[in-house]
């Protein structure tokens, strides 16, 4: 563990009350943990080597679970604001009564749809998310949303519309791996072991990223791309594949529709044209296409960075099509279609539909169709402008929108304008400070939770992350059920406790929690792995084939082919704005110690990355007259923040990069919530315009003073 833990090495086995096994629920890696307890205190944490998937790996966040659980700044008692706006401690029962009364009052006065419920990244792939959605249905509001309004669902939609699902890269058996806007070394490090395994067998590695990340330094080919132009690069690679006849002709003829139209689309996207758009040398574009096509089976990992662009959905479509025409679908070493386990549905059969559509449903109909949720990026507008109707109250579960949603100042203003705001949290976040009630909940160690590995590495395996400690706090599930009971909705939550609810979910598999408890290292294999399932049943699309040309997109008024459009803010699309903000700004890349805005308060993690830094190329810094370590004013058309400069050759000249999730330098003060992707409604966090001004050492203001135009 960390250095301080070595002091515990003298304890004998008899000292430990328990040595327990669970899985880390902080990110989607689901690494298995061996946790030793002495009484109720966590003494040691290590990765469990016997686990079939994680095989002993553990990242710094997993190692820090003892610090997270025992953090002195954890909220342990519900807090409610009194009439003077000051916090006062209340009992859990009192807090739930306050929430229930206010929610029912708002429903009676404005209608049920005036309440929105949002589950943050802490609830993605967790069971309580589905129960909170059920709560919304019981209450009568269509406005349930999740962090997937900004993450994952755009590329999932692209995959479903193109070939019926979102496949998972099979790194371990691939002969060519493309990490496209994807950095598993920071986002899911245990996957790097599979990549290294494939590399050891001779697999080629291509990394596409505007930053020379650690994986890029070890790759065969790094395409250092201008942020936001990935769609043009994908079309140029398709141009090479088609012109040089490197695609799988038999698969294309039998299993695709729209290939002829694709040929016409990519004809003008020569590598030379793409070079002028993407800044990637044309010879590298050709080399990348040849490497990918010439080393089958090959796989592409489509990162979140590609979704967070104004052309993100169509970019994901283009890459999906590239995987298809090269015949890399549903094969070992390519990308695998692995169904999630079939669990009992929690959807409710109501006598009548919601009285109004969800926020964002009409503007982004396919986003709603493919996930059934409201689009959270529209919530601030609904609160402040009443479009399409006013939101008056919100419940935020494990979410910190002030630091993680675009255009943070508008978000903060919107939440401050609500009649009532509830936040369930472990810590007093920037968003929790705005709430009327903050309700603390237990950590993942205090509840049973499913671990589904189908989305991680394509294994049809369901496991359990069992409860190993008791905390004097409700779990998220218990909060949801108790609130429902207090509001008179108990009939929709008939399960007496969380164990009974989870067993209900497992009924279609013919197993229960005890089955999973007895196989923590291997899990339950709910389906045998099978390749090329489309040979029996076709693809799960309207035509049963890969739809390069999508009639569904066409019916909704979208481009049926994966066209490329410039980012909403760029040197090309907004040249006048570029003269005011002459740098391309990308924000939000994951770093290993943190999970978005979480855990900056944990000492061992803070030591690994003490502060946010602005990455600037030496040439850019020289032109601006700024130095390494200097505190500067970073501005976009939406706002400004103070941040320290780190000069590095790992970033393209003319491009600057900042992390997100920091109170001290909130990147989302700068991001845009207006120019959203037209299909998915995702924000363009990875490509917009900015400028840097040195700060005056005496007054702290920009030395450029009034010579710099104010942010719009």
Q: Cα–Cα distances in Å, from 167 out to 154, 207, 320?
A: 14, 19, 9
| Average pLDDT over the chain, rounded to an integer | 93
Region 167-181: what's the mean pLDDT? 97
Domain ranges of the chain: 3-69, 79-152+341-525, 168-336, 575-707
Answer whether 204's CB lies under 8 Å from 175's CB.
yes
Task: At 164, list the tokens.
Answer: 């019926």
For the segment 505-534, the average pLDDT, to the nearest whole number, is 96
**Architecture of the domain spanning 168-336:** 3-Layer(aba) Sandwich (3.40)
The tokens 């030496």 sit on which residue? 618
Q: Using CB atoms within 10 Å of the CB of residue 283, give its burial: 0 to 12 exposed, 13 to 18 middle, 19+ buried.
A: exposed
Question: If you search the block for the tokens 């990394």, which residue do you land on?
Answer: 207
Res. 708: pLDDT tops 80: no
Q: Structure tokens of 74?
A: 């954890």
Bond prior to 155 in cis (omega within 30° of 0):
no
Distance of CA 505 to the CA centre of its chain: 25
pLDDT on residue 700: 52
Written out in words, the top-level CATH class of the domain with range 3-69 is: alpha beta
- pLDDT score recorded for residue 19: 79
Cis peptide bond upstream of 168, omega within 30: no
Kindly indicate the confidence band of residue 653, based on its pLDDT and cuts at 50, 70 and 90. Answer: very high
Structure tokens at 555: 């019916």
Give yes or no for a contact between 289 and 204, defined as CB atoms under 8 angstroms apart: no
pLDDT at 9 over 70: no
Locate 276 and state its tokens: 């002028």
Q: What is the pLDDT of residue 636?
A: 98
Residue 591 near residue 341 (C-beta atoms within 8 A): no
pLDDT tens for 603-637 read 999 999 999 999 999 999 999 999 999 999 999 99
Question: Residues 473-518: pLDDT tens digits?
Answer: 999 999 999 999 999 999 999 999 999 999 999 999 999 999 999 9
Cα–Cα dist 436/79, whole Å: 8
Q: Is the pLDDT of residue 78 over 80?
A: yes
Closest CA to 386 of 114, 112, 681, 141: 114
**Does the pLDDT value for residue 8 go beyond 50?**
no
What's the whole-number mean pLDDT along residues 188-198?
Answer: 95
Provide the pLDDT for residue 12.
Answer: 28
Residue 322 CA to residue 302 CA, distance in Å, equals: 12
pLDDT tens-digit profile of 403-443?
999 999 999 999 999 999 999 999 999 999 999 999 999 99
Rounded CA-CA distance 153/155 in Å is 6
Tell me how long the chain is.
Answer: 712
Q: What's the pLDDT tens digit per position in 658-680?
A: 999 999 999 999 999 999 999 99
Q: How far is CA 499 from CA 133, 280, 445, 495, in A?
A: 19, 53, 15, 9
- Alpha helical stretches, state H, 556-668: 575-580, 603-608, 618-624
With respect to CATH, is domain 575-707 assigned 2.40.40.20? yes
- Report how far residue 320's alpha carbon sits from residue 416's, in angstroms, rounded to the nearest whole number: 41
Residue 241 has pLDDT above 60, yes or no: yes
Q: Residue 3 — pLDDT band, cuts 50, 70, 90?
A: very low
Residue-level pLDDT at 350: 59
- Rounded CA separation 183/696 (Å): 36
246-to-240, 253, 287, 296, 309 alpha-carbon distances in Å: 8, 14, 12, 11, 29
Question: Once rounded to an integer, what is the mean pLDDT over residues 198-225?
Answer: 98
Contacts by 479-486 with C-beta closer than 8 Å and gap 24+? 479/96, 479/424, 479/439, 479/441, 480/128, 480/131, 480/132, 480/135, 481/131, 482/92, 482/96, 483/96, 483/99, 483/100, 483/135, 484/135, 484/138, 486/96, 486/97, 486/99, 486/100
With a cut of 80, say whether residue 467 has pLDDT above it. yes
Task: Determine the pLDDT at residue 419.
Answer: 98
**pLDDT band at residue 40 under the 50/70/90 scheme:** confident
- What is the side-by-side order of every strand in the sheet holding 32-38? 18-23, 32-38, 41-47
In this prediction, residues 124-129 reach a mean pLDDT of 94
pLDDT of residue 351 exceeding 70: no
Q: pLDDT category, 38, cuts 50, 70, 90?
A: confident
The mean pLDDT of 82-91, rounded to a whole number, is: 94
Chain-centre distance for alpha carbon 611: 22
**In the structure, what pLDDT confidence band is assigned to residue 701 with cuts at 50, 70 and 90?**
low
Task: Write down the pLDDT at residue 187.
Answer: 94
**Alpha-carbon span 546 to 257, nearest angstrom:** 6
DSSP for 116-159, please give it. EEEE-GGGTT-HHHHHHHHHHHHHT---EEEGGGTTTHHHHHHH
Map tokens 């690994």 to a residue. Answer: 608
* CATH code matching the domain that covers 79-152+341-525, chosen among 3.30.390.50, 3.40.50.740, 3.40.50.300, 3.50.50.60: 3.40.50.740
pTM here is 0.94
- Convert the pLDDT of each residue in 307-321 to its tens digit: 999 999 999 999 999
Is pLDDT of 710 > 50? no
Kindly report which listed range (37-51, 374-388, 394-408, 425-439) carries the lowest average pLDDT score: 37-51
Nearest to 228 by CA among 672, 585, 666, 636: 585
Say what the pLDDT of residue 354 is.
Answer: 85
Neighbours of 483 (CB within 10 A): 25
Please check the confidence at residue 267 and state whether its pLDDT lies above 50: yes
* Res. 10: pLDDT tops 90: no
In this predicted structure, what is the pLDDT of residue 119? 98
State the pLDDT at residue 54.
Answer: 93
């Amino acid at each position: 563990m960390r250095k301080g833990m070595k002091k515990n090495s003298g304890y004998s086995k008899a000292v430990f009350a328990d040595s327990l096994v669970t899985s880390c629920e902080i990110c989607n890696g689901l690494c298995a943990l061996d946790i030793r307890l002495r009484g109720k205190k966590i003494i040691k944490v290590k990765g469990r080597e016997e686990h079939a998937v994680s095989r002993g790996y553990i990242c710094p966040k997993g190692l820090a679970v003892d610090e997270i659980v025992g953090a002195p700044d954890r909220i342990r008692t519900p807090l409610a604001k009194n009439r003077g706006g000051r916090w006062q401690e209340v009992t859990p029962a009192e807090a739930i009564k306050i929430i229930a009364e206010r929610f029912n009052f708002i429903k009676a006065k404005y209608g049920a749809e005036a309440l929105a419920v949002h589950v943050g990244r802490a609830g993605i792939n967790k069971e309580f998310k589905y129960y909170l959605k059920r709560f919304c249905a019981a209450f009568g509001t269509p406005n349930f949303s999740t962090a997937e309004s900004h993450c994952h669902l755009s590329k999932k939609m692209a995959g479903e519309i193109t070939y019926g699902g979102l496949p998972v890269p099979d790194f371990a058996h691939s002969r060519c791996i493309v990490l496209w806007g994807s950095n598993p070394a920071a986002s899911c490090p245990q996957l790097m072991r599979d990549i290294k395994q494939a590399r050891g067998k001779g697999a080629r590695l291509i990394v596409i990223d505007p930053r020379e990340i650690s994986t890029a330094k070890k790759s065969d080919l790094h395409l250092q791309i201008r942020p936001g132009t990935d769609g043009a690069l994908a079309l140029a690679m398709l141009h090479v594949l088609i012109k040089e006849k490197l695609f799988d002709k038999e698969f294309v003829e039998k299993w695709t529709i729209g290939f002829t139209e694709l040929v016409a689309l990519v004809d003008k996207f020569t590598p030379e044209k793409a070079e002028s758009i993407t800044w990637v040398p044309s010879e590298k574009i050709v080399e990348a296409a040849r490497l990918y096509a010439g080393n089958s089976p090959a796989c592409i990992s489509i990162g979140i960075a590609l979704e967070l662009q104004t052309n993100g959905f169509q970019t994901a479509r283009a890459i999906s099509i590239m995987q298809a025409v090269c015949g890399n679908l549903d094969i070992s070493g390519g990308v695998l279609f692995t169904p999630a386990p079939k669990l009992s549905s929690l959807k409710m059969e109501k006598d009548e539909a919601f009285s109004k559509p969800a926020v964002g449903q009409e503007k982004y109909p396919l986003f709603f169709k493919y996930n059934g949720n409201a689009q959270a990026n529209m919530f601030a507008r609904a609160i402040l402008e009443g479009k399409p109707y006013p939101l008056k109250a919100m419940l935020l579960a494990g979410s910190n929108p002030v630091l993680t949603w675009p255009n943070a100042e508008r978000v903060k203003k919107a939440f401050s304008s609500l009649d009532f705001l509830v936040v369930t949290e472990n810590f007093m976040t920037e968003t929790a400070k705005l709430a009327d009630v903050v309700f603390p909940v237990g950590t993942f160690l205090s509840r049973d939770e499913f671990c589904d590995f189908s989305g991680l590495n394509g294994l049809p395996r369901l496991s359990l992350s069992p409860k190993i400690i008791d905390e004097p706090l409700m779990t998220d599930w218990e909060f949801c059920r108790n609130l429902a009971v207090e509001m008179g909705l108990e009939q929709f939550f008939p399960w007496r406790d969380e164990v009974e609810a989870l067993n209900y979910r497992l009924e279609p598999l013919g197993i229960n929690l005890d089955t999973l408890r007895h196989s923590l290292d291997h899990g339950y294999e709910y389906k045998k792995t099978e390749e090329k399932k489309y040979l029996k049943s076709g693809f799960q699309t309207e035509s049963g084939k890969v739809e390069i040309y999508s009639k569904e997109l066409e019916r909704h008024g979208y481009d049926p082919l994966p066209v490329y459009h410039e980012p909403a803010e760029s040197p090309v699309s907004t040249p006048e704005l570029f003269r005011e903000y002459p740098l391309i700004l990308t924000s939000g890349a994951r770093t290993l110690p943190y999970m978005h805005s979480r855990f900056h308060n944990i000492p061992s993690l803070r030591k690994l990355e003490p502060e946010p830094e602005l990455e600037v190329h030496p040439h850019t810094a020289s032109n601006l007259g700024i130095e390494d370590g200097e505190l500067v004013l970073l501005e976009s058309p939406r706002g400004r923040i103070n941040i320290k400069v780190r000069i590095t050759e790992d970033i393209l000249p003319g491009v600057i990069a900042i992390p997100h999730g920091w109170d001290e330098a909130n990147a989302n003060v700068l991001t845009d919530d207006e120019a959203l992707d037209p299909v998915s409604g995702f924000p363009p966090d990875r490509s917009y315009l900015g400028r840097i001004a040195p700060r005056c050492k005496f007054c702290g203001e920009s030395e450029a003073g009034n010579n710099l135009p104010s942010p719009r």
